[in-house]
Amino acid sequence: MSVQVETLEKNLAKLTVEVSAEDFKDAMKKAFNKNKNRFNIPGFRRGKAPQAMIEKMYGEGVFYEDAADEAINATCMEAMNESGLEIVSRPEIAIEQIGKDKPFIYTATVAVKPEVTLGEYKGVEVKKADEEVTAEDIEAELKKVQEQNARLITVDDRAVADGDQTVIDFEGFVDGQGFEGGKAEDYPLTIGSHSFIDTFEEQLIGKNIGEECEVNVTFPTEYHAAELAGKPATFKVTVKEIKVKELPALDDEFAGEVSEFDTLEEYKKDLEAKLKETKAKQAAVDNENHVVEKVVKAATMEIPDRMVESHIDSMMQETARRMQSQGLSMDLYMKYTGMDEEQMRNQMRPHALTRIQTRLVLEAVAKAENIQISDEKLDEEIAKMAETYQMEADKLKEFMSERDKEQMKEDLAVQAAVDLLVAEAKLV
């Protein structure tokens, strides 16, 4: 195998790979053995006909496609490694020459890691994130706990009001016909939650228990069910129950029930301390993000489209794995969200580009500052990981490949670059 490298514009490169005639002959043999049972040749039992006989009957190129796949799979990764390039996309393959007793030649067009020109990165000025905990923050937290400990009281002496928790029966019709998912009994609905379309909930205000009424709405134009999108609908609705939240009084008794403290004042002081800790952590994250964003904006680089698309591929796979862990297929997820694959990819594209730019800039900072991660530091991080997974550090290290360890060092160098940028930044 030989490899020629041609540099193209926009951080692309073309590798021309030549596989010897002898090696391609071996690939043809593998393709024949893989497919020989498919052919029924008169005078031969299935799978026993010689390669030459099959090629004579079906054409010399009958095994070319599978042979090309065999040759490419056997050589492409090696060719990319041999090129010495930092390749950041899947190769786009094109066959240049294929034939019996000839070298097999193909090209692999790839995106290569872009060069980054750093702008200002030390001492950047950003607005400091707010860490202050106000009286309003404490009251809001108290309100949340109060809501969590509320009890529901049945109401039967008045009509439905905003904020009520109701139980309803309903049946919907479009063009006089019922539709899938348009009917339910004993359905819990909080008025004002906007969980139903259009003005459905508002139209129930003033209705009494046991009263059947008509609710007229229009489905959104972007509704996930295409057959209903943008269409007017009529629902026959009966209110069966009305319940309201009864909030507990904010007093010492309440504090004793929801916390380890005897008085409301003590409980509020504890809430304040916890809120300060939470806000401080969030402020640190926000400060870090703002500093990094500013440094990224100051840098220049040309990101090849293929690099972005490759990153989107990874994000799609991540999403699929996450959905699978929740018992959902991607098809079902896309149906629920009303998006097809192209729309999902378009939605991911800006985020993918930002992630790529951020990583490249931070790697460039690490290089500019000569940030090196020692083997001792790596061992410390592996020990932390081992503790998380409840494993012995040495065992975990054994499972890791050299590439895994190098990747971990790169990630640690990037984080060290972030820490440096934040330490040098001016937070005003």
Query: Model confidence over 24-41: pLDDT tens digits?
Result: 999 999 999 998 888 878
pLDDT tens for residues 273-309? 999 999 999 999 999 999 999 999 999 999 999 999 9
Residue 47 has pLDDT above 90, yes or no: no
Residue 48 has pLDDT above 90, yes or no: no
pLDDT, position 335: 82
Domain boundaries, the chain: 2-111, 151-246
103/19 Cα distance (integer angstroms): 6
pLDDT, position 100: 86
Where does 151-246 sit in CATH, by number? 3.10.50.40
Q: Which of 15-24, 369-378, 385-394 has the lowest mean pLDDT?
A: 385-394
pLDDT band, very low/low/confident/very high, at 45 (cuts 50, 70, 90): confident
128/410 Cα distance (integer angstroms): 29
Residue 52 has pLDDT above 90, yes or no: no
pLDDT tens for residues 98-112? 998 899 999 999 999
Looking at every residue in the chain, the average pLDDT score rounds to: 93
pLDDT tens for residues 185-237? 999 999 999 999 999 999 999 999 999 999 999 999 888 788 899 999 999 99
Residue 55 has pLDDT above 90, yes or no: no
95/219 Cα distance (integer angstroms): 51
pLDDT tens for residues 382-412? 999 999 988 899 999 889 999 899 999 999 9
Task: Tell me the average pLDDT across 351-356.
Answer: 96
pLDDT, position 337: 81
Going along 51-121, which residue ranges are E strands? 92-97, 104-111
232/220 Cα distance (integer angstroms): 9
What predicted TM-score, i.e. pTM, was given to this entire model?
A: 0.74
Burial track 280-307 (b if 16+ CB lie within 10 A, e otherwise) = eeebeebbbebbbebbbeebebebbebb
CATH architecture, domain 2-111: 2-Layer Sandwich (3.30)
